[in-house]
Amino acid sequence: MSAQNLTFQNPPAGLGAPARTLGSHYGTAGGMNAFARETSPANWQVRVYDPTSPLAVHDGWRTVGNGWLTLADACAATGLA
């Protein structure tokens, strides 16, 4: 089974309210490719692609920060454009 994003319009009994789709945004920050994603409602994380950094994980991305309430806040704090 392949990974995919699922959003139930009418969730099965016991699952509660339908889930909303979380946001994401690609851009640049500090001259590097950057990615902002909403990890949970009103919680944004920004990562940059910096494979030479010792802080980067196995795929070359490192976290710049997280915990912003909006994408605009995350962009203002990190320079993500």
Q: Which amino acid is at 33?
A: N
pLDDT in tens, 20-74: 789 999 999 999 999 999 999 999 999 999 999 999 999 999 999 999 999 999 9
pLDDT value for 18: 66
Q: Which residue has the tokens 């704090």?
A: 77
pLDDT value for 7: 54
Q: What pTM does this model have?
A: 0.74
pLDDT value for 15: 64
**What gap in Å lies between CA 54 and CA 63, rounded to an integer?**
12
In three-state secondary structure terms, 72 is helix
